[in-house]
């Protein structure tokens, strides 16, 4: 089997100019399919609160739910590196308390790194975790856990606010983050941040100038019809395909076509 992508390899991929492919996954079956398709990083995102659990934001997601889903993803991941989001509320407070949650995530799920949202304000925590050899992927720009503070899922870093995003990205690199998600920021700013950092940037709604790209798996497959930001591209109209398949099944059951004799067992 091809060896698993490692945390230090992310930096090597950036230095070699090889773009990093990241998709969110929440269960064993999709993790296995995405891993076999050649994805480098499977992110167990707290977006599961929206696409799996049907909440309007990511805020209600619990630590137990993240561990539950990450455990299943690790079983299917194959060569992909698995990163698990720290849910809202678990990254606040003293760094040693955040570490208790991060240790539980790594220990119980078997994933290789945690992701947490925030720049300058998270520096002490990131330094503490990485100082204890817990790899951290950071996340700056449009951080969905800040949805209420931002007044909605709004693009960040426009105009004078660009300086704050750059400062956040430089701060998380300095604190030891192994990579940083740049979400919902203008393309030129993401390109500038990517050029200034030595750690890889993984973009989502940040244009083509990043070192890698992440999409929510259910968006990529056209399965989620909730929020559809302009940066989402469907590579499959999965929702339509699934509905057609289930409608055919329903019709065949009602018509007495399925199950057929060959689907039964001999005495």
* 110-140 exposure pattern, b = at least 16 Cβ within 10 A, e = fewer: ebbbbbbbbbbebbebbbbbbeeebbbbbbb
Among 14, 23, 41, 47, binds ligand KIV (CB under 6 A): 47
Q: Is residue 204 a contact point for ligand KIV (CB under 6 A)?
A: yes
Q: Which is nearer to ligand KIV, 216 or 264 (CB)?
A: 216
Site map 63..92 versus ligand KIV, x via CB under 6 A: ----------------------x-------
Tokens of 161: 């606010």
Among 5, 30, 46, 194, binds ligand KIV (CB under 6 A): 46
Q: Which residue's Cβ has the minimum distance to ligand KIV?
A: 45
Does the annotation mark 183 as catalytic?
Answer: yes
Question: Which residue stretch of 44-52, 169-177, 192-200, 231-239 sits at the interface with ligand KIV (rule: CB under 6 A)?
Answer: 44-52
Answer whether 208's CB lies under 8 Å from 201's CB: no
Residue with tokens 């590196």: 81
Answer whether 202's CB lies under 8 Å from 20's CB: yes
The one catalytic residue in 64, 108, 183, 252 is 183
Q: Is residue 216 a contact point for ligand KIV (CB under 6 A)?
A: yes
**Closest separation between CB of residue 264 and ligand KIV, Å?**
43
Residue with tokens 């990131």: 126
Catalytic residues: 183
Site residues (CB under 6 A) for ligand KIV?
A: 24, 43, 45-47, 85, 139, 181, 183, 204, 214, 216
């Amino acid at each position: 089997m091809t060896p698993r992508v490692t945390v230090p390899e992310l930096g090597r991929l950036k230095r070699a100019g090889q773009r990093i492919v990241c998709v969110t996954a929440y269960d064993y079956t999709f993790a296995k399919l995405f891993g076999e398709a050649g994805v480098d990083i499977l992110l167990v995102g707290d977006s599961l609160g929206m696409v799996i659990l049907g909440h309007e934001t990511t805020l209600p997601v619990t630590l137990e739910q993240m561990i539950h889903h990450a455990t299943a993803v690790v079983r299917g991941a194959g060569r992909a590196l698995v990163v698990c989001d720290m849910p809202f509320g678990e990254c606040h407070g003293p760094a040693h308390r955040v570490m208790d949650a991060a240790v539980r995530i790594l220990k119980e799920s078997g994933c290789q790194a945690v992701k947490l949202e925030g720049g300058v304000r998270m520096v002490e925590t990131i330094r503490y975790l990485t100082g204890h050899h817990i790899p951290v992927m950071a996340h700056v720009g449009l951080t969905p856990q800040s949805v209420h503070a931002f007044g909605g899922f709004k693009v960040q870093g426009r105009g004078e606010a660009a300086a704050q995003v750059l400062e956040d990205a430089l701060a998380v690199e300095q604190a030891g983050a192994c990579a940083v998600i740049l979400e919902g920021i203008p393309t030129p700013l993401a390109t500038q941040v990517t050029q200034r950092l030595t750690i890889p940037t993984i973009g989502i709604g940040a244009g083509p100038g990043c070192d890698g790209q992440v999409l929510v798996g259910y968006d990529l497959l056209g399965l989620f019809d909730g929020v559809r930001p302009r940066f989402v591209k469907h590579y499959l109209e999965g929702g339509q395909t699934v509905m057609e398949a289930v409608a055919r099944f329903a019709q065949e059951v009602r018509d007495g076509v399925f199950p057929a004799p060959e689907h039964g067992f001999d005495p």
